Amino acid sequence: MTLIFSGNDFKYELEGVMKLFIPAQLFTHIYTDRAAKCSGDYAFIRRRICRKHTLLYVYCSVNGNAAGLAERIPSDTENFDNKCELILSILLFKAMTKLTGVKAKWGIITGVRPVKRVNSLISQGMSKSQIYDTLQNEYLVSAEKCDIAYMTAMTQENIIKKLSDKTFSLYISIPFCPTRCSYCSFVSQSIENCKSLIPEYIDNLCREIGYTASLVNKIGLKLDTVYFGGGTPTALSEQRLSKLMDAVSSSFDMSGVREYTVEAGRPDTITHEKLDMLKRNGCTRLSVNPQSLNDSVLEAIGRKHTAKQFTDSYRLAANTGFGSVNTDIIAGLPGDTYESFKATVDGLIALGPENITVHTLSIKRAARLNQSDNKRSILKNNAGEMVDYASKRLLESGYRPYYLYRQKNMLENLENIGWAKPGFESLYNIYIMEEIQTIIALGAGGSTKLVDLDNRRLERIFNYKFPLEYNKHFDLMLERKNKIEEFYAEKE
What is the contact surface with ligand SF4 in residues (CB under 6 A)?
Answer: 177, 180-181, 184, 186, 188, 230-232, 265-266
Nearer to ligand SF4, 304 or 460 (CB): 304
Nearer to ligand SF4, 7 or 175 (CB): 175
CA distance 55 to 53: 7
Taking the complex as a whole, the smallest distance from the CB of residue 373 to ligand SF4 amounts, in Å, to: 21
Nearer to ligand SF4, 92 or 301 (CB): 301
CA distance 427 to 408: 24
Nearer to ligand SF4, 189 or 284 (CB): 189
Nearer to ligand SF4, 188 or 261 (CB): 188
Taking the complex as a whole, the smallest distance from the CB of residue 302 to ligand SF4 amounts, in Å, to: 8
Judged on CB neighbours under 10 Å (0-12, 13-18, 19+), 26 is exposed
Nearer to ligand SF4, 57 or 186 (CB): 186
Helix axis angle, 114-123 to 143-161, nearest 10°:
70
Nearer to ligand SF4, 46 or 305 (CB): 305
Nearer to ligand SF4, 184 or 420 (CB): 184
Provide the 3-class DSSP secondary structure of residue 34: coil
Torsion of CA 322, 161, 212, 270, to 10 degrees: 20
Taking the complex as a whole, the smallest distance from the CB of residue 483 to ligand SF4 amounts, in Å, to: 27
Nearer to ligand SF4, 263 or 434 (CB): 263
Taking the complex as a whole, the smallest distance from the CB of residue 361 to ligand SF4 amounts, in Å, to: 11
CA distance 388 to 386: 5
In sequence order, the 6+-apart residues with CB closer than 8 A to the CB of 228 are 172, 174, 241, 244, 245, 261, 262, 263
Taking the complex as a whole, the smallest distance from the CB of residue 87 to ligand SF4 amounts, in Å, to: 40
Provide the 3-class DSSP secondary structure of residue 186: coil
CA distance 403 to 231: 21
Nearer to ligand SF4, 135 or 184 (CB): 184
Q: What's CA 229's distance to the chain center, in Å? A: 14
CA distance 3 to 112: 23
Q: How far apart are the first and last CA of the chain?
A: 50
Taking the complex as a whole, the smallest distance from the CB of residue 5 to ligand SF4 amounts, in Å, to: 37
Q: What's the order of all strands across the beta sheet hosting 53-62?
A: 28-32, 2-6, 42-49, 53-62, 65-74
Taking the complex as a whole, the smallest distance from the CB of residue 320 to ligand SF4 amounts, in Å, to: 21
Taking the complex as a whole, the smallest distance from the CB of residue 203 to ligand SF4 amounts, in Å, to: 23
The DSSP H or E segment spanning 14 is helix 11-21
Nearer to ligand SF4, 136 or 182 (CB): 182
Of 442, 380, 391, give the one whose Cα is nearest residue 170: 442
Nearer to ligand SF4, 145 or 359 (CB): 359
Taking the complex as a whole, the smallest distance from the CB of residue 175 to ligand SF4 amounts, in Å, to: 8
Taking the complex as a whole, the smallest distance from the CB of residue 130 to ligand SF4 amounts, in Å, to: 40
**DSSP letter assigned to residue 164:** P
Residue 43 φ/ψ region, left for φ over 0, alpha for ψ in the -120 to 50 degree band, beta for the rest:
beta
Cα 108 to Cα 88, 102, 315, 450: the distances in Å are 10, 13, 42, 29
Q: Cβ distance 359 to 328 under 8 Å?
A: yes
Enumerate the H helices of 448-482 as residue ranges.
Answer: 467-472, 474-480
Q: Would you list the DSSP string of 387-456?
A: HHHHHHHHHHTT-EEEEEE--TTBGGG--EEEEE-TT---HHHHHHHHT-SEEEEESTT-EEEEEETTTT
Taking the complex as a whole, the smallest distance from the CB of residue 358 to ligand SF4 amounts, in Å, to: 15
Taking the complex as a whole, the smallest distance from the CB of residue 363 to ligand SF4 amounts, in Å, to: 13
Taking the complex as a whole, the smallest distance from the CB of residue 232 to ligand SF4 amounts, in Å, to: 5
Nearer to ligand SF4, 58 or 184 (CB): 184
How many residues appear in the chain?
A: 492
